[in-house]
A and B are shown apart, each in its own frame.
Chain A
Amino acid sequence: KNQVEQSPQSLIILEGKNCTLQCNYTVSPFSNLRWYKQDTGRGPVSLTIMTFSENTKSNGRYTATLDADTKQSSLHITASQLSDSASYICVVRGGGADGLTFGKGTHLIIQP
């Protein structure tokens, strides 16, 4: 069964600090991996999309990494801001017709 596991479940850090969120997946075959940011009560917004041949991709202060061999990804947030408070969801697309598999997300809180 395709699964995406994210850790930690929740995280609290001080404004200005860096943090790293983890994503492990068992989706096979693998097509691509996405990170989304979801503010409370709103729809997710795409941050990055990576294929198996890409091992890093940046979007401003967000940098995602992918290790297709170990089936792990991480999202690093640099110099966090209060507006980074949100849930970060890892999503893996397999090669089959069953669409996307979502992780349950990491709930990140940035404290001033």
Chain B
Amino acid sequence: DSGVTQTPKHLITATGQRVTLRCSPRSGDLSVYWYQQSLDQGLQFLIQYYNGEERAKGNILERFSAQQFPDLHSELNLSSLELGDSALYFCASSVGAGIVLETQYFGPGTRLLVL
């Protein structure tokens, strides 16, 4: 158990809908990272938040958005869902901003299926 929690574990929805994925980092970790993992693409970095502020941005679509709240939990919002958005979404956390040699601890993931 990494100490990172993600809810829900599974999510099934229809195209065009909007969903929210939630992540609670390990106690004391200030950074939260979001990743998407599909079968053909592997892990894709989406976005990083550090202490409430956006820190780094990867291949995140405009239909997706995220935020980190004062209690450091984070939410990833996915809207206008398409079939291709079906994937595993992982959240990870680390102590600092991630520039130095830090280990990221991954949560168990949320499996999203868009029908």
Q: Which residues of A contact B (CB under 8 A)?
A: 31-32, 41-46, 49, 51, 89, 91, 93, 97-105
Least CB separation from A31: chain B residue: B99
Main secondary structure of the interface of B (DSSP, over half): strand
Q: Measured between alpha carbons, how far is A58 from B88 in the docked complex, in Å?
A: 30
Interface pair A43/B106, CB less than 8 Å apart: yes
Least CB separation from A100: chain B residue: B45
Q: Measured between alpha carbons, how far is A49 from B105 in the docked complex, in Å?
A: 13
- Counting chain B residues whose Cβ lies within 8 A of the other chain, the interface size class is 20 to 34
Interface pair B58/A98, CB less than 8 Å apart: yes
Q: Which residues of B contact A (CB under 8 A)?
A: 2, 4, 33, 35, 41-45, 47-48, 55-58, 88, 90, 92, 98-99, 101-109
Interface pair B101/A46, CB less than 8 Å apart: no
Taking a contact as CB atoms closer than 8 A, the residue among A44, A45, A51, A104 that contacts B101 in the complex is A51
Interface pair B33/A99, CB less than 8 Å apart: yes
Which residues on A sit within 8 Å (CB–CB) of B103? 46, 49
